[in-house]
Structure 1
């Protein structure tokens, strides 16, 4: 059997199963006693294991088998889910996803997952069921302080079992005590660098003080960890001591006998306490009015998988057909023959229906992007020690596949921003009289020929004065300019390159990059982004995107002998302007429009049109365009009319012309450049 013939199918189905596993594991985290969800997870894991084994990806199959063993105990009521089991299974899913992506890139799908397998085997071990879940696997108990001796680290029975099994499987177990120099100013930073090195080298089982206390510099000069690794003690010691301002690193090799001596009897009162279900720090809720999960009455949809390249070919062929249709319509209007006109009109109706079908074939629900975020929010909420609900609505809203492929990263940036900077800590929310759990709404909806995606949080909001002070300090604007800016204009300063309001750099956000990338990416897709905020109440980031990037409706215009196209989605109306209506203010041409003064844009000057001189007559025609809340009047020579046009990229030929976003071929065979209205309004 030729396995290569089935590789594409394996990758597609593996991604589907991994997505299902993530979604259902999140549901189970909210309802840990729901065995029906466990059954679904088990079936997906079992199928993935069988597929991997058939294709010869042994590491994938082996890891999935160990996860399956844990799930089998849970579904048969022999094991209760707890926080450690959830975290271990999620780590397993991350490893499986990385292995599948390695296969996608032409790799072998192999990876070192021994640490995860060790934890999974320990969970299945009867000792785990007897002792119960470890409380705070990587954190010391809160009553311990950073000044206590490293030798006093207390391990529970489960952690000791993990260390023993690690030695049995050929791993090294080290007790490491790290001491920073007495003159060190940023102890937490040096400790973070050490932990980053240790996590790259193996798995940290226990630390003293806790990771949180170390990050907050609640320790004197030293801290200790137990580490599972395959590296040598000498190499690890040298790498740690090579970190700046680290005075020493004492690495002690642990054997089974020394680990057994660490065991301390459990306190009787602790064993008698019944564990209570904890509210998860991140959970996913359906929005109000969202349909409930299918209960067996849903209709089965028949689908087939189609290579996206084939759809691209279909779109290109239809684009050529559309150009010929416009040409035939023009010829029919010139010849004025009844039967020809009738046939062309019928062809126009049929091709219009065909156009709708072809465009719908490329339309994909934003759910394909949204479904990655619940897991991301869960993990970030735990990292940030916050309680956050992610509420998703409008996931069935459809966008062109081209847009879908590009919108994921900007949404990740905005969500991370809301989680890190928007939602407050539990303590601050309680002080402000808010619920402990913050809410982030992720919604999508249609409006006209556009799709809007909004990310709304009920966090602290944006501090206008703080943003202004940073913008002035960084030279983005002057103090005088800031005084006259509206709130929305101030909030948009967040999208300036390198702008950051973070007090400290974190791995979540706040490195001074991100939001400027969001804006440039959305603008490149023909969209726009805006911000609304209320201090103490929350913030809304709104993204406006075109339905498709392939075929659009446009207004065709002339500048002298040249023809151009302006997308209808940006045109508010057309008008005629007399010479005496144009005012010159500080060197800029302005006109009054609906009670407001808006700028007049000379398209001929921007494009260096050789044979068009605006306002040579007493009046000229203008197109009123809009970008968010800003308006502008674009002077043109003549309106040709509305038409559906096919966007053709120009590549590098006109890369320096910012106002041109592409080109189209008209019915008469001429090429018309497509104007980007967003570039005309500053």
Structure 2
């Protein structure tokens, strides 16, 4: 049962997101039939999944929602905001209930109590539409049903006649369905015709396990006798009550539209832990491959030149294969940013309504792919940035009109791939940031003295918005004023190995640009020696290396520095940062790594630079998890464990 619940949760979240996307699209384009059909299928499938469990009133609520969409599909009710609002409330309720269902197997008390409110919303909507439905004394019969009616004899048996259009799923045989057997069980069958959904294939391409039939039939009614025959495949069948010749009565069509399947790539759900395990194995292969290099050197030193060459040749071949394996495995972890981006339209809709601001959220580049861990961890920082634009950036319509702007604001969420990085931009066309207001807020909150604030350039003043606890909101609300925001965003992006830049213009808007690696690939490390031990430093953190004469070091206040191309670079010793004894000779030239620390460059002295290595860094776990300045561990080719340092964290 636990596995069944887990599978239900996965599918339910997908269906909830699909329904939400389609309903939002319908609100913008009420005539879009494709989105209407897709929303109906999502709710219908979700109701079927819920029916497998004892989830109280959830199935009934979804049934009412399905009825509303069914009426909309039949043209009996209009698609507008008054229809979409209660349906979105149902979708949100189901989404909020999934976690409790996974943990306990049933709805929480709070979620259970909300069901009655949703019943009221849905029933109220249906009641409001009843007047419109009553006015419609008849519903136009589809053309395919009228064509079937023309084939009936003018003098037939009295009573209700039902037109049937049955389009079986192409893979229905694998579901245990037999379309012709289903039709043969119908009572009072009066007409039957078969056609194909696609041109007949060549004999060599014929697939006997794929169904491409369209079955049209006419049989005696009433509908209540026929519906049970199709209860398991309602999305593949249309049933329409036909008028008899001379009968002026036109009955309402019960529309059960067949599911239109688009061409999709074959996909298979795989537990992400299995992919992660493959990456670990690929990393171990890299370590084993690196071990061949010292083995070849050892063979060469013992006069075994031919053996050394064979080992070197094997090393090159294994290196090529391991690189291909690792590339394939990392590609398996890539997912589109759409999985994160698609959560924002509904959030923006709800938040903008609460704030009383009219705006459009424009999303571009959602098909760009990145590593699963990056995509899943982007939601929180992007949520902060979008809320920041909603609350602080976008003005109310009156203020916008006074500034000669359109009444509706605009937030752009755009992703682009640039080389081995993904660039995500969050831009609003709001009021922008005022450096003077930021200075005043920083002084009021005790982050700066008034003298220091007055001398601070605008560029540096704007960077204060990333300071912990900084907020320009005058009061605490659901969205802002708690001092938790852009500093959290910056830390989150840095943890993912990315950077965050901001551009703003007073009166024009603000743009945040996130640059992140597309995948967590092999790390290029520089191995250094300090105090007789070896440590790894990511080469991406190192700007350059320098051999610095001891006389070039100058004391500055309590520290030391040196001049590099007319720029003063602070100098630190890695031994001091690691709190281990220094062993380097006092008279020797210093071996210095010039590294990045935020926007600055800092020199770090090491005893020796040993080698470069390509490895897979593993994060710390157990008692070592969270140790300051240690990014993780890796294995060298000789089997020794190497600590990988986070120099920026050590320096801070």
Tell me if TM exceeds 0.5: yes
| Alpha-carbon distance between aligned partners in 2 of 1:109 and 1:87, rounded to the nearest angstrom | 23
Deviation (angstroms), 1:52 = 1.6
Match of 1:31 among 22, 29, 32: 29
Question: C-alpha deviations, 1:138-195, integer Å up to 9, x for none?
Answer: xxxxxxxxxxxxxxxxxxxxxxxxxxxxxxxxxxxxxxxxxxxxxxxxxxxxxxxxxx
SS in structure 1 at match of 2:352: helix
- For residues 309 and 399 of structure 1, the distance between their equivalents in structure 2, rounded to whole angstroms, comes to 17
Provide the C-alpha distance between the structure 2 equivalents of 1:370 and 1:124, rounded to a whole number of angstroms: 32
Q: Equivalents in 2 of 1:616, 1:447: separation in Å?
A: 46
542-551 vs 42-51, greater mean Cα deviation: 542-551
Match of 2:324 in 1: 353
- CA shift, 1:652, in A, is 6.0
Whole-Å separation in 2 of the counterparts to 1:605 and 1:666: 25
User: Taking structure 1 as reference, are residues 350 and 299 closer, same or farther at Cα in structure 2, changes over 3 Å only?
Assistant: farther
Please name the residue that 1:122 is paired with.
124
Aligned mates of 1:29, 1:394 — CA distance in 2 = 22
Distance in 2 between the 1:614 and 1:425 partners?
Answer: 67
CA distance in 2, matches of 1:490, 1:478: 13
Q: Does 1:74 align with 2:72?
A: yes
1:231 alignment counterpart: none
What TM-score do you get using the length of structure 1 for normalisation? 0.71
Does the C-alpha gap of structure 1 residues 315 and 416 become closer, same or farther in structure 2, counting only changes over 3 Å?
same
Uncovered stretches (5+) of structure 2, i.e. residues with no partner: 135-259, 301-307
- 2:352 is matched with 381
Q: CA deviation at 1:395?
A: 2.0
Relative to structure 1, is the Cα distance of residues 665 and 485 closer, same or farther in structure 2, using a 3 angstrom cutoff?
A: farther
Work out whether residues 54 and 106 of structure 2, in 8 Å CA contact, stay in contact via their aligned partners in 1. no
Find out whether 1:414 has 2:385 as its counterpart.
yes
Shift in Å, 1:24: 0.9
Gap runs ≥5 in structure 1: 133-295
Distance between the aligned counterparts of 1:553 and 1:341, measured in 2? 21
The answer on whether the counterparts of 1:572 and 1:625 sit within 8 Å (CA) in structure 2 is: yes
Aligned to 2:593: 623
1:520 to 491, 508, 527: 491
- Counterpart Cα distance in 1 of 2:480 and 2:428: 16
Q: Does 1:507 align with 2:478?
A: yes
Cα shift readout 1:269-304 (whole Å, capped 9, x = no counterpart): xxxxxxxxxxxxxxxxxxxxxxxxxxx998631110
Q: State the 1:330 CA deviation.
A: 2.5
Q: How far 1:128 moved relative to its partner?
A: 5.5
- RMSD of the TM alignment (CA)? 2.7
Cross-structure match for 1:155: none
Say whether 1:664 aligns with 2:629: no
Equivalent of 1:458 in 415, 429, 434: 429
Match of 1:371 among 342, 359, 362: 342
CA distance in 1, matches of 2:631, 2:330: 20
Residues 492 and 530, structure 1, Cα contact 8 Å, conserved in 2: no
Taking the aligned partners of 2:585 and 2:360, their CA distance within structure 1 comes to: 56
SS at match of 1:90: helix
Match of 1:312 among 276, 299, 304: 276
Picking from 532, 542, 559, the partner of 1:571 is 542
List aligned pairs for 1:11-90, cutoff 5 A: 11-90=9-88
1:401 pairs, out of 364, 372, 385, with: 372
Aligned to 2:6: 8
* 1:678, distance to aligned residue in structure 2 (A): 3.0
Question: Within 5 A, what are the aligned runs for 1:86-235?
Answer: 86-109=84-107, 111-112=112-113, 113-125=115-127, 129-130=131-132
- Matches of 1:437 and 1:677, distance apart in 2: 46
Distance of 1:352 and 1:555 partners within structure 2: 20
| CA 1:434–1:126: 2 relative to 1, 3 Å | closer
**Residues 77 and 132 of structure 2 are in contact (CA less than 8 Å); yes or no, is this contact kept in structure 1?**
no
CA contact (8 A) 1:328 1:667 kept: yes
Separation in 2 of the partners of 1:479 and 1:126? Answer: 62
Matched, 1:322 2:286: yes
Asked if structure 1 preserves the Cα contact closer than 8 Å seen for 2:290 and 2:637, the reply is: yes
Deviations 1:481-534 (A, max 9, x none): 334444343233223222210022211222222333323333333333332211
Partners of 2:279 and 2:326 within 8 A in 1: no
SS of the residue 2:543 aligns to: strand
CA contact (8 A) 1:123 1:129 kept: no
Per-residue CA deviation, residues 314-373 of structure 1 (Å, 9 max, x unaligned), is: 222222222222122332233232222211221111011111112222222222111111
Distance 1:493 1:470 in 2: 10
Q: Is the 8 A contact 2:76 2:133 kept in 1?
A: no
Aligned CA distance change for structure 1 residues 31 and 318 (closer, same or farther; 3 Å): same
Q: Using a 3 Å threshold, how does the CA distance of structure 1 residues 127 and 42 change in structure 2: closer, same or farther? A: closer
Counterparts in 2 of 1:602 and 1:653: CA distance versus 1, 3 Å = farther
Deviations 1:420-464 (A, max 9, x none): 111111111111111112221222334454433321111111111
Residue 291 of structure 2 aligns to a residue whose secondary structure is: helix
TM-score by length of 2: 0.74
SS in 2 for 1:643: strand
Aligned counterparts of 2:23 and 2:585: Cα–Cα separation in 1: 64
Please say which of residues 4-13 and 405-414 is displaced more in the overlay.
4-13
Q: For 1:18 and 1:626, locate their aligned partners in 2 and report how far apart those are by CA, in whole Å.
A: 44
- Answer yes or no: is 1:540 the counterpart of 2:538: no
Q: What displacement does 1:627 show?
A: 4.6
**Aligned equivalent of 2:414, options 439, 443, 451:** 443
Question: Which structure has the greater CA radius of gyration?
Answer: 2
Tell whether the 8 Å contact from 2:526 to 2:537 is kept in structure 1 after alignment. yes
Q: Is the 8 A contact 1:74 1:81 kept in 2?
A: yes
State whether residues 549 and 647 of structure 1, in contact with CA within 8 Å, keep that contact through their aligned partners in structure 2: no
Over 3 Å counting, the alpha-carbon distance change for 1:129 and 1:612 in structure 2 is farther
In the alignment of these two chains, the number of paired residues is: 516
C-alpha contact (below 8 Å) 1:563/1:672 kept by paired residues: yes
Cα pair 1:60 1:99 within 8 Å, conserved: no
Q: Does 1:679 align with 2:639?
A: no
Q: Cα deviations across residues 362-421 of structure 1 (Å, max 9, x unaligned)?
A: 222222111111111111111111122212223233332233333321221121111111
